[in-house]
Amino acid sequence: MPELPELEALAEGLTAEIAGRRIERAVAWSPATLRTAEPPLEALRGTEIAGVRRRGKLMLVEAGALTLVMHLMSSGRLGLTTPPAARPPRTAGIGLVLDDGRELRLRELSTKRRASAYLLPTSGLAGHGQLAHLGPEPMGLSPEEWRDRLTRPSGMLYSAIREGRRVAGVGRCYGSEIMWAARLAPLTRTDRLPDEAWARLAAAADQVLSSALERARQRITTNLPDREQRVTYVHGHFGEPCLRCGTSLARIGFSEYELVYCPACQTGGRIYADRRMSRLLR
């Protein structure tokens, strides 16, 4: 799933490229992707794009008095393309054809069609459910702010750090990277973390996300790549040696994903049980 670094780099690149462009046509290639009916998508026709910005994992295209809010989910991709003469591929969801002939297209690599788009009056954005319940952005949060967000209520660290209502923009990949950098056990309850752990968490979040954002800016401008080309230390490296201590990285298997961690650096040698067959940890 695209997360804060990739989406922020994309928002910056798209704004630099298409701010000031006029929308000549707006098409819902996949009607199921558009979740609002009023105002109609055609209301974007003739409006000028002010810019594209990110909030959490949402992408917002601001045009005139309207904003198109898009959640890419795990398999959505957003970027500029040349519209075909005939209907585009089945992956196409929403298309905004610009006055220079290019199309800003939301497409989806999966057949599950989880990506969504909402066309809303900009004046009413604050009341939109996906935006109204987002927590603060993670970069720059103090240790005290991290503690406040992740302990009210308490929860498992690996899930709390990814909940957008607590802190916006962090997903499985960078959540794992932050916990590894901070030497924190993924299944620790947040209300049991010692005071000094919050300072490590805040510093790790800033370092991991800022470094990832700089790398994303070098490869992402006006399109999200189909395959994520991230530089990671634990995410996706199960069985490889930890780059800090050399211990083989372990994992917790869930039904649709895995969480990779270092037993020596993060859990005091404890190996967590697999959760693919049971919701209970042994």
Distance, in Å, from the CA atom of 57 to the CA atom of 169, rounded to the nearest integer, reads 5
Average pLDDT across the chain, whole number:
94
Report pLDDT for 99. Answer: 97
Domain encompassing residue 52 = 4-132
Taking 80 as the threshold, does the pLDDT of residue 51 lie above it?
yes
Among candidate residues 175, 129, 128, the one with its CA nearest the CA of residue 5: 175
Q: Which tens digit of pLDDT belongs to each residue from 150-178?
A: 999 999 999 999 999 999 999 999 999 99
Supply 70's token pair.
Answer: 């898009």
CATH number at residue 166: 1.10.8.50
Q: Are residues 114 and 223 in the same domain?
A: no
Q: Are residues 122 and 162 in the same domain?
A: no
- Residue 278 forms part of a structural domain: no
- Residue 281 forms part of a structural domain: no
Give the number of domains in the chain: 2
Q: Are 168 and 135 in contact (CB under 8 A)?
A: yes
- Choice between 186 and 113, residue whose per-residue pLDDT is larger: 186
DSSP per-residue letters across 269-280: T--PPP-SS-SS
Q: Are residues 88 and 13 in the same domain?
A: yes
Report pLDDT for 282. Answer: 40
CATH number at residue 46: 3.20.190.10
Q: Which tens digit of pLDDT belongs to each residue from 211-226?
A: 999 999 999 999 999 8
Q: Are 54 and 213 in contact (CB under 8 A)?
A: no
